Amino acid sequence: MTKGRAVVAMSGGVDSSVAAALMVDAGYDVTGIMLKLWRGDEINYSSGCCNLGAAEDARRVADVLGIPFYVLNFAERFDDTVVKNFRDEYLSGRTPNPCVSCNQWIKFDALLDRAKTLGADILATGHYARVLERDGAFRLMRGIDAPKDQSYVLWMLSRQQLASCRFPVGEMTKTETRRLAAQLGLRTARKPDSQEICFVRDGNFDAYASEHLGAVAEPGPVLDIAGNVVGEHRGIGRYTIGQRRGVGVSLGMPVFVTSIDAESNSIVVGSQADLEVAGFVAAGASFTGSAPADGAEVFVQHRAHGEVHEATVRGCGRGRFEVRYRSPVAAVAPGQSAALYSGDDPDELLGGGVIDATVPARAAV
């Protein structure tokens, strides 16, 4: 007798391959599903996912495991949500994270709904994170392999969704995952991890910006903190807040991009101190359980695999929250995701949101 039916999202990589194997071993009736997110030919041959070769790898793994495998076409939904949001955010001078958007609108929304219609009780993926049940409630925890932890890109999951999600490789290290894949004879055992944005062909963002983001590929002024023109940029879409290399401006000190203004097609540069922020306001907030109380101590992460920072949170309501760091933090950009972890248990993800505006450290003094 099986534990129930499970759908495993298979990307053609080693992590989702082993996730499928572990669900089979755990006694589930498993079906593998890959999402076709591209239109026509493969979008990014070098990304390692989202291409026809990856689909063939996933199909071969499913054959070895003896499970059915299907490819579902979600290309239109992907274009209308993830790709559109990515372009809109860049056109607004913000820094989006398409992996977060894909999890929010595709994997744990559309695919989870489809899994339910197929009669599945569980949706499993190859993310390095963990779902634990404590006191009758489901909690989202970091994966035990800290360098590979992917809980940051899962901040949008609700407790109801967590009840239907499993991340089997979250209890393993990446080395253990590859070792098990090799032992099982899976062809993905030595496959490199995917790196680039799947819909940016060959990882060439400059070419993508020129083709799809014309307005942010146009040259414009580089300003200093006082508003003086000190140079010309190559298009705001080619810069991120905190960037130092490639700015092309010499002010007699290390120069960083401190802000981007899409309306005036300009970027502002300054010193390390000008880059620091005291906090931020986030929108699109989501929490795995009850929202933190005003003044609650949290750890904040605003980059995948980035550092965590001590902070307090307040104003959690109407889809927003405010964060104030204990000490100023550099390179925090509107559009980035901010994941909140418990001050009592730094491994527990409480939720998060998208940074809407920052508070410069100098202005907060």
**Nearest Cα residue to 8 out of 78, 100, 110, 112:** 112
Of 99, 165, 198, 316, which one is the catalytic site residue?
A: 198
154 Cβ contact partners less than 8 Å away, ≥ 6 residues apart: 103, 108, 127, 129, 140, 349
* Helix, strand or coil, per DSSP, at residue 304: coil
Distance CA 296, CA 92 (A): 32
Distance CA 174, CA 162 (A): 23
Q: Is 50 part of the annotated catalytic residue set?
A: no
Q: Is 198 part of the annotated catalytic residue set?
A: yes
Amino acid type, 160: Q
226 Cβ contact partners less than 8 Å away, ≥ 6 residues apart: none
Of 99, 102, 165, 316, which one is the catalytic site residue?
A: 102
Distance CA 153, CA 149 (A): 9
* Helix, strand or coil, per DSSP, at residue 158: coil
**Tokens linked to 193:** 């991890």
Rg of the chain's alpha carbons, rounded to an integer?
21
Catalytic residues: 102, 198
